Structure 1
Amino acid sequence: MVSLTSALALISAGLYLDGRVRLSRDLAFAIPGLKTKLWFEKQLIPNNDVSLYNRFDDQVQIRPYAIALVFENQSYTWKGLEIASNKMAHWYQAQGIQPKDRVAMFMTNSPLFIISWLALLKIKAVAAFINNQISGPVLIHSLKTANAQLLVFDHELIEVLYESIEGIREMGYRLFTLTPKEQVLAFDEQRKEDGRFYEFMEWRQCSAEGYSRDTRRDVVIGDAVALIYTSGTTGFPKAAVMDHGRCTLATSVWAGICKITEKDRTYDCLPLYHSAGGTWISGSTVVLSRKFSTSSFWNEVRDQDVTMIQYIGELCRYLIHAPEDPRDKNHKVRLMFGNGMRPDVWRKFQQRFGVETVFESYTMSEATSALFNLTSGDDGAGAVGTFQQGLRIVKVDLDTEELIKDKNGYCIECDYGETGELITLADNKTSQTRYIGYYNQPKLSNAKLIQNAFEEGDQYMRTGDLLYRTKDHFWYFADRAGDTFRWKGENVSTAEVADTLGHVDGITSCTVYGVTIPGKDGRAGMAAIVLKDEYWEIPIKQKKEIEKSIRLINERAVQEFVDRLGRHAAKRLPPYAIPRFIRICEGELEITGTFKNKKVELRKEGFDLSKVRERLYWWTPQGYQRFGARENEVILAGRARL
C-alpha cells in the first residue's frame, strides 16, 4: 500500500538532466511519470474513467481469483473483496448515503476498513478516515470537520466513543458498528441497562449485485476519494482532501518507479487511516497487519514471503534497536518505500537487514508536489529526493516564521547548503499542481498560500518544512519551521541534533526541542531520551497506595552513557547546538499514529522540577551533570553558564 498523500510532481517531467545528475535515476522517475501522464490524459479523462474505484475494478476483471489481501493468515481474493463491498455499498445506500455524502470511519486495521472504503467509492461517497488514536475534544473536532451523516466504528473503540457520546449526538451522527452482532453481544452486556447508543451494521445480508462503471462516469479528477487528517503533532488535526485524479496518478507512478507487479507482496503495518491501496494499480498482494510490532515484524515478513515493506517515521529506528537475530537477513524483501527515515538510521538499516533499495519520498497530505529518492547505496542515502519542477527552497525568518523578501517584494531562493522553507507551486493551471487545501476549513487553506512569490500572478503553498539542497541536486529534510529555534544567535535544527545523538549507542529513541530560560534570549536545546533496557534494573513497586511501578536505573551504566553522550555531542555538534538539558525517560515517548514524536507537553514541562519527575542532566564545562533543585536555583538567579 502506498500513502495517498503521495502527490507526484515528476509527472510534469520537470527533470534536470546534466552531467552532474544521475541519468538512470532521472529516467527511473521520468518514464513511469510520462507514461502515466499520457494514460491519464489520453485515456482516462476522455473516457470519463477517472474514478479510483475503477482501478480496483480493473484488477477484478484481470485476476478475479488471485489473492489481493492477506490479514492474520486469512486470504481475500479480488473478487471476494468486490462481492463484500457490493453488499456493504447496498447497505450504505439503504441508509440514505448519496454521492458526495461523507461517512466517518473510526476503525482499526482490518479487511473491513478496506471493504467499507471500496463500498463508499463505488457509490461515489466520501470516507472520512478518523484517527483511531484520538479521543475527547480532538475526536469531536475531527467529526465536526467531517460533517458526516454516519459514524461507523470497530467495537473495540467503544469506550472512546462512550466518553464523547453526548457531543457526537449533538452533531446528529448515527452510529453503527461493523463488528458482527454476535461478537458484540458477548462483550457489551454492561451497557444494556443504559441502552445501546449505536446500531449494528448488518450488511452481510444485502444484495451482492455489482455496480456498472457507467454509474461513475460523472466522477471528475477533483472529486474527493477520502478525507485524511493531519497527524496533529500540534493543535487539532486538519482534514486534507484527497481526490481521484491525484490518487490515481500517485499510485500509478509509484508502481512504475518501484517496478511493482502482481507477483509482489507488500507488508503494511501502518494505520490505514493514513494509507490506502496503491496495489489497485499494480495488482500485487497486500499483507496487512493489525498494527506495528517490533517483535513480530520480521516473522510476519518472512512467513508471508513479503517482497516490499512500507515504513514511516521512526518505525525503522525501532527495528534497528531490537535485539539482533541470526535471521535478520533471511527474507525476500527487495525494496522498502515510505517517508521519514532519518539519515542516522538509513544505512544502518540497510546493512543490518540486507534491504538493497530504498524509495524515500517527501510529501504532505495537502501539498501539490513531492520529492522522491530511489537509491541502493551510499549515493543519496538520507536524502528525501532530487530536483523537481515547481519546488523551491526560500529564505525564512525562523523567529517570526515570515518569509524573507527582496526589495521588490519577491521570495529569495536559498543557495546550495542553505536551509530554508520548502514551497510548492499551487497555480491550479494544471491537474498536477492543483491546490485543494483542507476540507471545511477555508481560512486555514488560504493561510497556506502565498501570491506573487517570484513573479506577478504566481501562487505557491507553504509547507512549513525546512529543507536544504546540495550541489549534486539531492534535497534533505532539516526540520519543521516551528521546531527550529535560535540559541546564542544561531539557528538550531531539532532534527539535525536528534540525528546526531541517535548515533550514540544505548539510545532507543530521542526527540529534541527548545525550552525557555529565564533572562536568556531564544530557547535552549533539550533532549528527551529513551534508553535501552540494559540501563534499567528489574522494576519494583512503590508503596501500596501508589499503583504504578517505577524503574530502578543502573547508576554506573547510565553515568557512563551520559559521559559518552557529552563527548559525542561536543565533538559532532556546534557549541550552540549541544542540548543544554537531557531528560532520561522512564517510558516510551508519546507518538502520533504515524510515529511522529509529540513535543508539546515535553516543551511545556521543560526542566520544571515540579512537573518533571524523571532524571535530568544539564550541560556544564565538565559535560553533562545531574540537575536538581540547587542547579535550578542557579538558573533562576541568572548565574548559570549555559
Structure 2
Amino acid sequence: MVSLMAALAVAGLAGYIDGRTRLWRDLSIAIPGFRSKIWFDRLIANNDVSFYNRFEEQCLQRPHNIALIFEGHSYTWKNLELESNRLAHWYQSKGIQPKDRVAMYMVNSPLFIISWLALLKIKAVPAFINNQLNGSVLLHSLKTAQGQLLIFDYELVEPLCESVEAIRELGYEIYTITPKEHVQGRFDDGDETIRFFGFVEWRQFGTGGFPKETRKDVVMNDPAALIFTSGTTGFPKAAVMDHGRCTPIVGIGQSWVSGSTVVLSRKFSTLTFWKEVREQEVTLIQYIGELCRYLLVAPKHPLDKENKVRMIYGNGMRPDIWQKFQDRFGIHDIFECFTMSEATGALFNRTGGDDGAGAVGFRGPITRAFQPALRLVKVDFDTEELVKDENGYCIECAPGETGELITLADNKTNLTRFVGYFNQPKMSNAKLIQNAFERDDQFMRTGDLLYRTKDHFWYFADRAGDTFRWKGENVSTAEVADTLGHLEEIAACTVYGVTIPGQDGRAGMVAIVLKESSSSSSSSSTPPTTTTMTRDASVEVEPARGGIRVDEKALEAFMERLGQHARKRLPSYAIPRFVRICGQDLEMTGTFKNKKIELKKEGFDLRLVNERLFWWTPQGRYQPFRETEHGLIQAGRARL
C-alpha cells in the first residue's frame, strides 16, 4: 500500500511539473532538433550535402514504389530518376554548367519536379519565378536571377509575349517545356515565323545517370533553388534556399528524406480536395492558413471525417479556426511552424487539443537551451526602429508584450547561417543588425511582430510596417501604389491592408485622389465646388478652392481602366480589393502615417466612410460598394 501511494504521489508530482513546465512538449521539439543536427553534421563530414542525394537514396531503396501522384497518374522513384536524367542531358546540351541559373516560370506539375531534379543533379540552380508575375515585376525577377535559360509552361505564354524583347535583352534563351504537339497550331494561328521560343525536346536524350561523386564538392550554403519572395518592401527578392535549408522542409523535402509519396494538384480546389485525400489515403497534409479556411467554409459533407489524415503541417492556421478545423475533419494533430525563406531559425508547435491552439511556436527551457537564437525585442511601432537600452543594446520583451522577432545570423554554425538574397547584397545587409545584445554579435530582423506567454507559447501578432499578407502572399504597399500611380488620371494614391471578417491576412485597399481633369465634366462652366463623394452619388456643396465636380460617366470609365490596369500589371493577390475615391488631397507630410492609420481604421466601414467606395467583384472588375455588398462581406458570403 505504501509503495502504491508513493507511486501515485510521484505520478501526481510528475503530472504537476509537466503541467507547469510542459516538459514532454519541450522534449518533443528539442529531441528531433538534436537528432537533425547530428544527421546534418554527418552529411557534412561525408561531403554528402547535395539535396539531390536525398532523392537518389530513395531511388536505390525503393525504385518501384510510388513517389508522386498527379491527376490520377503515378510516378515511381525510378520513373522520376530516368526522366530527370534525360532532361539533365538536354540542359547540358544547351551549355548549362554547375552554378548556372535557369528560370522556371511554371505551374504545378510533375515536369516542375523533374526539371528541379535535372538541375540539381548537374549542380545548376533553378530560379522559381512566381507564375502570377508579369510586366516590370517579372522582368525584375529575371534580371535578379541572371539566368541563361527561361523555361515556361505554354499556358503562361501571354505575359512573356508582352515582354519578350526585354527578356531577350537580359540574355535569356526562351523555351517551353510543354510538348511540341500540344503547342503547334495554337501560337498565332500556327505562324511559326514569329514564334519567339524554342521547345525543350528532351525525350530524345539518354537516361544515363550522374554519379554521386560528381556532387561531393557541393557545400551546405550552395543554392539548391532561388525562391522569389515579395518581402517587406519593393520588388521581389530572391531568397537563397541552400542545400541545408531545402532538405528538412515539408513537401518535396520530407518526401525525399523519408520516401513518402507526394500527392500533387495543379490548383487547389475545395470541391476535389477531400475526395482526393480519401482516394489516395493521404496521412499528412501540408497547408497554409488560407487553405484551411477555404476548406472550413465549404459546405459540409457526410464524409468530412472519413479520412486517414493523422496530422496537418504548415503555417498560418488562424487561432479562430484551429479547433473548428480539427473537430470538423477529425484531425488529431496540428503542427504549426513559423519561419521565413531567408530566416536563420524557426518556431514549432504541435498540439492535439486546446493546449497551445493558435500558437505558432513553443519554446520551453530545453528548446531555448538547444536553440537560443530566437529573440523578441522591443520596437517603436511608428518609426519601426528597434528600441535600445542605455548601452545601445536591444531590449527583450516581457511575456505578453508584442515585439519584433530577430534571429541569430552567425555563419560560424550551420543552424544559424545567413545566406541572404541572391545578387541583392544591399537588401541582404538591410536585414541585419550588429551589436544587438553584445559586442560584434549579428541578428536578422524578420519584420514579424509576435508575443509570448508565461507558459512558453509564442503567437503571431502582425507584420511590421506597411506590408500585409493576403492569399498567403506578402503584398508590398509601395509596389502596388507605384504600379497604380502610372495611370494618368491619378493625382495621388496610398495603399494599405484592411481586415476582412473571417479572412486570413488583410485585403488590399487603395485611397485615390483623381486629377481634376479626370474626374470633372469638361463642359462645366460653373465655379469649382467641394464635392463630398458619397456612396450613392456626388453631392455638390458650396464652392471652395481646389474642389472638383465629379462626372459619373468619367468615374465609371476610370474604374474600368483601373481594373484593367491592375489585372494586367499586378499579381492577382496584390490587386486591391477595395478602392476609396477621396475628395481631397492625401496628407503627404510628416503626418502621412497618421492619415494612413486612420484610413486603415475606417477601412470599408460604411458607417465611417462617406466617400465613394468600390470593390473587386468575383468577375474581376471594380463595381460600386454599397450596403448589400457590405452585408455579404460581413456575413462571410462574398468571394474576394
Settle same-fold status: TM greater than 0.5: yes
1:625 aligns with 2:607: yes
Q: Is the 1:107–1:154 contact (alpha carbons within 8 Å) kept by the matching residues of 2?
A: yes
1:332 aligns with 2:308: yes
Structure 2 counterpart SS, 1:314: helix
Q: Is the 1:618–1:624 contact (alpha carbons within 8 Å) kept by the matching residues of 2?
A: no
1:402 aligns with 2:385: yes
Deviations 1:181-202 (A, max 9, x none): 1111142252616511111100
1:353 aligns with 2:335: no
Corresponding residue of 2:34: 34
User: 371, 387, 409: which is aligned to 1:426?
Assistant: 409
Cα offset for 1:23? 2.0
Answer with 452-461 or 194-203: which moved more.
Answer: 194-203
Q: Give aligned-pair identity as a percent.
A: 63
How many angstroms apart in 1 are the aligned matches of 2:220 and 2:109?
28
Corresponding residue of 1:462: 445
Cα offset for 1:466? 0.3
Distance 1:628 1:301, change over 3 A: same
Number of paired residues? 504
1:154 aligns with 2:153: yes
Structure 2 counterpart SS, 1:20: helix
Corresponding residue of 2:23: 23
How many angstroms apart in 1 are the aligned matches of 2:464 and 2:504?
22
AA at the equivalent of 1:324: K
Corresponding residue of 1:185: 184
* Greater relative contact order structure (CA < 8 Å, 6+ sep): 1
Cα offset for 1:608? 3.1
Structure 2 counterpart SS, 1:240: strand
Cα offset for 1:301? 1.2
Cα offset for 1:484? 9.1
**Displaced runs of 4+ in structure 1, greater than 4 A?**
495-499, 512-518, 589-593, 617-620
Larger radius of gyration: 2
Cα offset for 1:629? 5.0
How many angstroms apart in 2 are the aligned matches of 1:182 and 1:478?
51
1:608 aligns with 2:582: yes
Query: TM-score, length-normalised on structure 1?
Result: 0.73
AA at the equivalent of 1:310: Q
Distance 1:451 1:25, change over 3 A: same
How many angstroms apart in 2 are the aligned matches of 1:85 and 1:618?
49
User: 347, 361, 384: which is aligned to 1:385?
Assistant: 361
Cα offset for 1:427? 1.6
User: 488, 506, 518: which is aligned to 1:511?
Assistant: 506
How many angstroms apart in 2 are the aligned matches of 1:458 and 1:190?
62
AA at the equivalent of 1:405: K
Corresponding residue of 2:4: none
Cα offset for 1:39? 2.1
Distance 1:320 1:38, change over 3 A: same
How many angstroms apart in 1 are the aligned matches of 2:430 and 2:201?
43
AA at the equivalent of 1:386: F
Distance 1:167 1:462, change over 3 A: same
Query: TM-score, length-normalised on structure 2?
Result: 0.73
Corresponding residue of 1:167: 166
How many angstroms apart in 2 are the aligned matches of 1:329 and 1:590?
41
Deviations 1:451-488 (A, max 9, x none): 00000011000000000000000000000011499xxx
Deviations 1:8-29 (A, max 9, x none): xxxxxxxxx9873322222222
Q: Is the 2:133–2:570 contact (alpha carbons within 8 Å) kept by the matching residues of 1?
A: no
User: 464, 467, 470: which is aligned to 1:481?
Assistant: 464
Distance 1:233 1:391, change over 3 A: closer
Q: Is the 1:238–1:438 contact (alpha carbons within 8 Å) kept by the matching residues of 2?
A: yes
Distance 1:466 1:484, change over 3 A: farther
Q: Is the 1:362–1:371 contact (alpha carbons within 8 Å) kept by the matching residues of 2?
A: yes
Deviations 1:207-233 (A, max 9, x none): 100111011111111111000111457
How many angstroms apart in 1 are the aligned matches of 2:333 and 2:110?
29
Alignment of 1:552-571 (within 5 A): none
How many angstroms apart in 1 are the aligned matches of 2:612 and 2:213?
75
AA at the equivalent of 2:345: S
How many angstroms apart in 2 are the aligned matches of 1:480 and 1:80?
43
Q: Is the 2:281–2:307 contact (alpha carbons within 8 Å) kept by the matching residues of 1?
A: yes
Structure 2 counterpart SS, 1:324: coil
Cα offset for 1:234? 5.0
How many angstroms apart in 2 are the aligned matches of 1:107 and 1:343?
33
AA at the equivalent of 2:582: D
Distance 1:435 1:591, change over 3 A: farther
1:128 aligns with 2:110: no
AA at the equivalent of 1:34: F
How many angstroms apart in 2 are the aligned matches of 1:172 and 1:484?
32
Deviations 1:14-47 (A, max 9, x none): xxx9873322222222222222221221x31222
CA RMSD of aligned residues (A): 3.5
Corresponding residue of 1:73: 72
Corresponding residue of 2:628: none
Distance 1:143 1:22, change over 3 A: same
How many angstroms apart in 1 are the aligned matches of 2:467 and 2:186?
48
Q: Is the 1:347–1:381 contact (alpha carbons within 8 Å) kept by the matching residues of 2?
A: yes
Structure 1 counterpart SS, 2:45: coil
How many angstroms apart in 1 are the aligned matches of 2:381 and 2:137?
28
Corresponding residue of 2:473: none
Deviations 1:484-543 (A, max 9, x none): 99xxxxxxxxx99948x43xxxxx67736798999xxxxxxxxxxxxxxxxxxxxxxxx9
1:59 aligns with 2:54: no
Q: Is the 2:409–2:443 contact (alpha carbons within 8 Å) kept by the matching residues of 1?
A: yes
Alignment of 1:80-479 (within 5 A): 80-190=79-189, 192=191, 195-231=194-230, 235-248=234-247, 250-251=248-249, 276-387=252-363, 388=368, 389-479=372-462
Deviations 1:230-272 (A, max 9, x none): 1457531100001112222x24xx6xxxxxxxxxxxxxxxxxx
Cα offset for 1:399? 0.9
How many angstroms apart in 2 are the aligned matches of 1:183 and 1:590?
26
How many angstroms apart in 2 are the aligned matches of 1:336 and 1:294?
16
Deviations 1:566-622 (A, max 9, x none): xxxxxxxxxxxxxxxxxxx9xxx99998x9x648x468x4463799xxxxx9999xx
- Give the structure with the higher percent helix: 2
Cα offset for 1:628? 3.8
Q: Is the 2:431–2:446 contact (alpha carbons within 8 Å) kept by the matching residues of 1?
A: yes
Structure 1 counterpart SS, 2:271: coil
How many angstroms apart in 1 are the aligned matches of 2:23 and 2:497?
30
AA at the equivalent of 1:101: D
Which segments of 5 or more consecutive residues in structure 2 lack a partner in the other structure? 1-16, 469-495, 514-552, 586-598, 614-640
Q: Is the 2:388–2:394 contact (alpha carbons within 8 Å) kept by the matching residues of 1?
A: yes
AA at the equivalent of 2:451: Y
How many angstroms apart in 2 are the aligned matches of 1:403 and 1:174?
45
Q: Is the 2:497–2:507 contact (alpha carbons within 8 Å) kept by the matching residues of 1?
A: no
